[in-house]
């Protein structure tokens, strides 16, 4: 009702902000008589858009502005005008410029007789603009001729003819011709032609053949500067000398050997522009480097030689940070402090040393039978990252063409709860690398060791859940025993747009894919079974009297966004994960099990509040263990819209659940079965508010259950039809987008 009142009030007052004789731009549409011309692409030429709408319907972003007064000396008026959008006054000059640019764009696509009509429809003080595209008949290239005087350049282009954008029968599209010019320019500048540019590549087209046919001629002119009157053959340059230079800001210099590895420009090779770009990318990935410059200058003694100067400016060597966190676990409030120290140039080779200390406290209430009512955690983590592959057999070409990091890490974490004390020790050696544009990224966990041990378990907890024959929980018991995990893993991620430090794919047409595979315990199982080591009471092989986990796990994650306008987009997400314990394990370790619900899953349920399958929790104290599984499915559809100021909104539908591979007695209804799993897919819907600062996003999401697989009766199974707010509503606060 409040929203409707704002919209009504705003619409009633908008006319007072429209000058006499002017019009509010209400709507802009683009139509075409030829479906092969994408109207979404033509929208990019529109120079003036109407005010933003919530979900493409309501112009609420304009409402705060229209509620302000004209007296800008008043603070309230300035505030309302700042957070709201000013009415867009129609500009005929911008509209005519849009019409001309749109017409030229369609003609460049090969519709040489195309024209665009601008139609204006006025309704009171509002105006709707329509751009009607009449393309006519498209011209096609039927003949292609190459006219290249330089024999070496002609041979170079002939050898790469398969990569050419030119084909007989192709539309006479000037965009494709310009793309071919770009390809040839890139090819030349990566083949030693340092002074080459796109202006030396041109086309001649004969459109007089009739029947909308075009005869196309590709020409590559010889070299000539603005002052020259005579053209000369293009020169091919080799790199003669390469000089590496690092400043000594506060003594923070980088060893020349590291710069040499990151430098892709090599003496004696033909000049290649991609080597310059690789050098910039490699140097920018070094934490010790603030900025870098690559300068190429012709040699004074040889006109076919270049000298390269690669200079870097170093960053501050040391950094110290402190973070304060607030926590709320099931109503128990607490706080955590994180202190971190970074040395960006530890061994003078841009090695990154990272040391973190963390301490946390949480006041726990409502636990009966336990003496200490508080939760205390402290931990330390040390990691050292090397800006290179520390592995034998890696080729030099691969080293210089990829941004690689080798990392070793150690971590110790101590958790003291009223029920138990838990210690975790981890150590890992991993590799991460990406290509020049960072679209493809790889990670290999060559070895990852985890040792979890329980030095103390309270008598009450042990008697109630671990030793009591009537309430014994196998999953719970397994996760409160000492455990050793030795695993390896590989992760691949791809995004269709180069990463540039922005907040992911927000509001774009990009898509991303992430694939992860890991396995644990196979080597240990082979060795212990080969040598016949002892087994424990659960018939598990042990290492130093500690059982080790054995499993295989795989995850697939896909996200895609569809942009309808600058302020409206639709995003979809699909996630699937499967993990299977075998050999030395009947149950997955708790840290490797899946959970559902929460801010990044099915938002109608709280975190770890959904599943597995149709399982319905009975004991809130241990349901965080029982509501985990071996299989996870997530499906999300989210409509995102800009509201006003820095506030964005979202409406979404989520579906998914988790399941177990085996039938565990403590998780009835949780096993995955092909004939029943589809009836156990939960669904929810909701609205969200996001505070978008571009570099990070804070969001508040709400969710209402729509389909609840924990119940069989229709009244409870379909809360969409029979909603109950206290039972079906969840609220989530998070940082960043859910996908």
Task: State pTM to two decimals.
Answer: 0.82
Contact indicator for 642, 586 with CB cutoff of 8 Å? no
pLDDT at 63: 76
Same domain for 167 and 150? yes
Residue 208 covered by a domain: yes
**β-strand 213-220 against 140-148: which pairing, if any?**
parallel
Same domain for 159 and 94? no
Residue 58 covered by a domain: yes
Q: What is the DSSP string of 151-165?
A: HHHHHHHHHTGGG-S
Q: How far is CA 421 from CA 335, 418, 424, 452, 453, in A?
A: 19, 8, 10, 11, 9
Please state, in angstroms and rounded to a whole number, the distance separating the CA atoms of residues 167 and 144: 8
Q: How far is CA 102 from CA 30, 48, 112, 133, in A?
A: 10, 13, 13, 8
| Neighbour-count burial of 145, counting CB atoms closer than 10 A to its CB (0-12 exposed, 13-18 middle, 19+ buried) | exposed
Residue 619 covered by a domain: no
Please state, in angstroms and rounded to a whole number, the distance separating the CA atoms of residues 498 and 425: 36
Same domain for 125 and 181? no
First and final C-alpha spacing in the chain: 31
Domain's final residue, options 117, 134, 151:
134
Please identify which residue in the block is written with the tokens 């692409």: 41
Please state, in angstroms and rounded to a whole number, the distance separating the CA atoms of residues 149 and 155: 11
Same domain for 207 and 113? no
Residue 467 covered by a domain: no
Q: How far is CA 244 from CA 268, 269, 309, 310, in A?
A: 16, 17, 6, 5
Same domain for 89 and 6? yes
CATH code for position 161: 3.10.20.310
Residue closest to 93 by CA, chosen among 159, 25, 146, 44: 25
Residue 110 covered by a domain: yes
Same domain for 150 and 123? no
- SS3 assignment for 9-50: HHHHHHHHHCCCCCCEEEEEEEEECCCCCCHHHHHHHCCCCC
Compute the residue count for the chain. 739
CA 218 to centroid of chain Cα atoms = 41
Residue 76 covered by a domain: yes
Coil vs helix vs strand at 96: helix
Contact indicator for 682, 611 with CB cutoff of 8 Å? yes
Please state, in angstroms and rounded to a whole number, the distance separating the CA atoms of residues 173 and 168: 12
**For 77, left (φ over 0), alpha (ψ -120 to 50), or beta?**
alpha
Exposed e or buried b per residue across 671-690, where buried means at least 16 C-beta atoms within 10 angstroms of its C-beta: bbeeeebeebebbbbbebeb
Residue 46 covered by a domain: yes
Alpha helices in 245-325 (DSSP H): 256-262, 273-284
Same domain for 65 and 101? yes
Same domain for 122 and 21? yes
Domain's final residue, options 188, 220, 252:
220
| Cβ-Cβ contacts under 8 Å for 439 (sequence gap 6 or more) | 494, 495, 496, 497, 498, 499
Say how many CA atoms lie within 13 Å of 644 toward its Cβ: 18
Q: How many domains does the chain divide into?
A: 2
Contact indicator for 129, 95 with CB cutoff of 8 Å? yes
Q: Work out whether the CA dihedral 363, 366, 371, 375 comes out positive or negative.
A: negative
Say how many CA atoms lie within 13 Å of 498 toward its Cβ: 6
Residue closest to 25 by CA, chosen among 34, 17, 33, 35: 17
* Block mean pLDDT (10 aa), the chain, length 739: 54 74 91 86 89 69 76 79 83 95 95 94 92 94 93 93 93 95 96 95 94 95 82 93 80 81 91 93 89 93 94 91 76 83 92 96 76 85 92 76 88 91 95 81 94 89 73 70 92 80 50 95 89 81 88 96 83 96 90 91 90 80 78 96 84 96 88 92 94 86 94 86 89 88
pLDDT at 554: 97
Domain's final residue, options 83, 107, 134:
134
Same domain for 8 and 126? yes
Q: How far is CA 597 from CA 302, 516, 654, in A?
A: 69, 21, 10
| Cβ-Cβ contacts under 8 Å for 511 (sequence gap 6 or more) | 495, 496, 505, 558, 559, 560, 561
pLDDT at 248: 65
Residue 127 covered by a domain: yes
Same domain for 148 and 32? no
pLDDT at 621: 59
Same domain for 75 and 12? yes
Domain of residue 29, residue span: 2-134
Structure tokens at 184: 């040839």
**For 55, left (φ over 0), alpha (ψ -120 to 50), or beta?**
left
Q: What is the DSSP string of 147-209?
A: EE--HHHHHHHHHTGGG-S--TT-B--HHHHHHHHHHHHHHHHTTT-TT--GGGEEEEEE--S
Same domain for 26 and 101? yes
């Amino acid at each position: 009702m409040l929203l409707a009142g704002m919209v009504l009030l705003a619409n009633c007052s908008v006319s007072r902000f429209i000058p006499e004789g002017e019009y509010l731009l209400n709507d802009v549409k683009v139509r075409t008589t030829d479906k092969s011309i994408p109207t979404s692409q033509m929208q990019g030429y529109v120079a003036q858009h109407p005010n933003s709408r919530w979900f493409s319907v309501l112009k609420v972003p304009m409402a705060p502005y229209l509620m302000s007064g004209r007296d800008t000396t008043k603070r309230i008026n300035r505030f309302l005008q700042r957070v709201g959008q000013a009415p867009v006054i129609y500009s005929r000059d911008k509209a005519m410029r849009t019409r001309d640019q749109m017409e030229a764009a369609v003609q460049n696509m090969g519709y040489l007789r195309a024209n665009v009509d601008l139609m204006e429809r006025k309704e009171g003080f509002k105006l709707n603009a329509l751009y009607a595209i009449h393309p006519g008949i498209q011209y096609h290239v039927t003949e292609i001729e190459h006219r290249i005087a330089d024999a070496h350049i002609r041979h170079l282009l002939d050898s790469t003819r398969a990569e050419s954008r030119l084909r007989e029968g192709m539309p006479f599209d000037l965009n494709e011709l310009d793309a071919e010019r770009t390809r040839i320019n890139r090819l030349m500048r990566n083949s030693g032609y340092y002074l080459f540019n796109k202006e030396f590549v041109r086309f001649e087209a004969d459109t007089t053949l009739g029947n909308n046919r075009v005869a196309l001629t590709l020409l590559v002119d010889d070299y000539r500067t603005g002052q020259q009157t005579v053209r000369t053959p293009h020169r091919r340059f080799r790199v003669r000398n390469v000089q590496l230079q690092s400043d000594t800001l506060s003594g923070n210099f980088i060893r020349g050997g590291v710069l040499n590895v990151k430098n892709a420009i090599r003496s004696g090779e033909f000049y290649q522009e991609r080597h310059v770009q690789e050098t910039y990318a490699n140097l920018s990935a070094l934490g010790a480097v603030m900025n870098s410059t690559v300068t190429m200058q012709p040699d004074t003694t040889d006109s076919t030689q270049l000298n390269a100067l690669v200079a870097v400016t170093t960053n501050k060597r040391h950094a110290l940070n402190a973070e304060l966190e607030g926590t709320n676990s099931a109503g128990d409030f607490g706080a955590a402090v994180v202190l971190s120290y970074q040395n960006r140039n530890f061994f003078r080779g841009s090695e990154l040393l990272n040391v973190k200390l963390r301490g946390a406290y949480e006041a726990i209430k409502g636990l009966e039978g336990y003496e200490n009512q508080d939760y205390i955690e402290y931990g330390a983590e040390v990691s050292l990252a090397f800006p290179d592959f520390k592995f034998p057999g890696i080729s030099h070409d691969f080293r210089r063409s990829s941004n690689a990091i080798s990392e070793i890490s150690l971590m110790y974490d101590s958790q003291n709860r009223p029920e138990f004390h838990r210690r975790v020790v981890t150590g890992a050696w991993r590799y991460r690398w990406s290509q020049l544009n960072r679209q493809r990224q790889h990670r290999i966990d060559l070895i990852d060791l985890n040792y979890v041990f329980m030095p103390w378990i309270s008598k009450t907890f042990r008697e109630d859940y671990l030793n009591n024959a009537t309430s014994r929980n196998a999953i719970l018991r397994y996760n409160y025993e000492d455990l050793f995990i030795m695993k390896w893993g590989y992760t691949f991620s791809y995004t269709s747009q180069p990463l540039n430090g922005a907040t992911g794919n927000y509001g774009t047409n990009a898509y991303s894919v992430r694939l992860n595979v890991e396995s644990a315990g196979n080597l240990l199982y082979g060795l212990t079974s080969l040598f016949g080591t002892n087994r424990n009471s659960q018939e598990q092989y042990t290492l130093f009297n500690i059982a080790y986990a054995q499993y295989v796990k795989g995850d697939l994650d896909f996200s895609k966004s569809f942009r309808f306008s600058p302020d409206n987009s639709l995003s979809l997400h699909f996630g699937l994960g499967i993990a299977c314990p075998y050999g030395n394990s009947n149950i997955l370790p708790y840290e490797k099990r899946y959970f559902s619900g929460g801010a990044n899953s099915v938002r109608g349920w709280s975190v770890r509040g959904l599943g597995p399958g149709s399982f319905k929790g009975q004991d809130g104290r241990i349901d965080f263990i029982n509501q985990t599984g071996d299989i996870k499915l997530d499906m999300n559809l989210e409509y995102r819209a800009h509201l006003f100021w820095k506030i964005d909104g979202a409406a979404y539908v989520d579906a998914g659940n988790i399941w177990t591979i085996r039938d565990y007695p403590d998780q009835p209804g949780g096993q995955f079965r092909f004939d029943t799993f589809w009836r156990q897919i939960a669904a929810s819907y909701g609205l969200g508010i996001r505070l978008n600062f571009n570099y990070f996003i804070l969001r508040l999401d709400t969710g209402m259950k729509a389909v609840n697989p924990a119940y069989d009766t229709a009244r409870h199974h379909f809360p969409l039809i029979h909603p109950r707010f206290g039972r079906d509503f969840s609220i989530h606060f998070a940082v960043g987008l859910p996908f």
